[in-house]
Amino acid sequence: MHKRSAHRSLLVVGSVALDDIDGPFGMHRDLLGGSASFVARAAAYFTRSVSVVGVIGDDFPQRYVDELVELGVDVSGIERTAGDTFHWVGRYAPDLATRETLDTRLGVFANFDPKLPESYRDAELVLLGNIDPALQLNVLGQVRAPKLVAADTMNLWIDIKRDELLKMLAKVHTLMINDEEARQLAEEHNLRRAAAKILKYGPTSLVIKRGDAGALLFHGGGVFAAPAMPLTDVVDPTGAGDSFAGGLMGYLAYAGDLSPSTIRTAMIMGSVMGSFAVERFSVDGLRGLTTERIQQRFDEFIELARFERVRL
Ligand code: AMP
């Protein structure tokens, strides 16, 4: 699947983090995390044209940056500055279905003013990963003529940066959020109604991620459902949503078109990459995958949801 010359380039902005994760498998400290870390790794399996904008502090291990370079990712937009790397502390409930944020330390993100390298400004696909919506807008403003802009966000920004978030929504084509965030953003419990409301804020499509219940794509009155693969081993759901976004956008870059059927396939590819991510801690589930394993899991998804049309 590694295309040397992908049809479209993908620019990713997001957090590059060190995470402390607590839950049924104990406390794990200083794991590599951050939205951009998962997105870039998932997307890199589909296209060699991924570039990342982000910031790291002087405590961030260089080997994680080198690893991205080995995957063919352009890291010239990752800035290292004096201070601490963004640090997130979260705790999962015993069933891994819900989590709470215990601490968010912005560190070097607090003063980050991204300057896109010239080569990044012609990106065709842009993924604004979960990060302060003011930074998402700042980055988007530097891209010349993107064909597809997708964005993620989270409850923190809906709570404290709603105005900036609404400004950002007016400029994106696709919003990708989880069900709780959709309800909070729309102030509406029913997901179909919430989706209709959010689509009035600007995006033409909305992806609602629902953990092990799969993901829904709402667009132009229609809805498409991608299932989640029932897995035997789930240890760390952190980054599942970002890996989904990376698989989806990476596949769109690889496929080179934005037709409805390609977008449906991309939803499944997102589910494939999300399913790998949750099987290990941090980005480990995304490490060392092969085209064959990705293809095999994609085929399992076809079987999972295939049924015949009947005439009653
Ligand atoms: P996900 O599980 O897909 O929602 O993504 C989890 C990742 O998001 C973790 O690795 C965190 O480092 C990162 N994260 C958590 N809170 C924030 C935040 N407020 N801004 C940016 N990234 C965050």
Instruction: Please state whether beta strands 10-13 and 50-56 pair in parallel, antiparallel, or not at all (unpaired).
Output: parallel
Ligand 1 neighbour 15 (Cβ under 6 A) = yes
CA of 38 to the centre of ligand 1 (A): 10
Ligand 1 neighbour 60 (Cβ under 6 A) = no
Ligand 1 neighbour 241 (Cβ under 6 A) = yes
CA of 185 to the centre of ligand 1 (A): 18
Q: Which of 283, 280, 279, 276 is nearest to 301 (CA)?
A: 276
Ligand 1 neighbour 176 (Cβ under 6 A) = no
Ligand 1 neighbour 271 (Cβ under 6 A) = no
Our mutation pick for probing the ligand 1 site, out of 31, 88, 281, counting the most ligand atoms within 8 A of Cβ, is: 88
pLDDT beyond 70 at 13: yes
Give me the chain's average pLDDT, please: 96
CA of 239 to the centre of ligand 1 (A): 7
Contact 86, 17 (CB under 8 A): yes
Summarised one tens digit per residue, pLDDT across range 92-118 is 999 999 999 999 999 999 999 999 999
CA of 187 to the centre of ligand 1 (A): 22
Our mutation pick for probing the ligand 1 site, out of 15, 41, 132, counting the most ligand atoms within 8 A of Cβ, is: 15
Distance CA 160, CA 181 (A): 13
pLDDT of residue 221: 76
pLDDT of residue 233: 94
Q: Which of 278, 200, 250, 308 is nearest to 51 (CA)?
A: 250
CA of 309 to the centre of ligand 1 (A): 41
Residue nearest to atom 7 of ligand 1 (CA): 34
Contact 182, 194 (CB under 8 A): yes
Q: Which of 232, 229, 222 is nearest to 263 (CA)?
A: 222
Contact 61, 19 (CB under 8 A): no
Distance CA 189, CA 207 (A): 16
Ligand 1 neighbour 214 (Cβ under 6 A) = no
What stretches of 93-183 adopt beta strand conformation (E)? Answer: 99-105, 125-128, 148-152, 174-178
pLDDT of residue 7: 66
Residue 192: its H or E element: helix 191-199
Residue nearest to atom 1 of ligand 1 (CA): 239
| Cβ-proximal residues to 187 (8 Å cutoff; 6+ apart), any chain | none
Ligand 1 neighbour 17 (Cβ under 6 A) = yes
DSSP label at residue 260: H
- Calculate ∠ Cα 90-301-237, nearest 5°: 5
Q: Which atom of ligand 1 is nearest to the CA of 245?
A: 3
Ligand 1 neighbour 278 (Cβ under 6 A) = no
In this prediction, residues 145-166 reach a mean pLDDT of 97
Summarised one tens digit per residue, pLDDT across range 242-296 is 999 999 999 999 999 999 999 999 999 999 999 999 999 999 999 999 999 999 9
Residue nearest to atom 11 of ligand 1 (CA): 34
In this prediction, residues 140-149 reach a mean pLDDT of 97
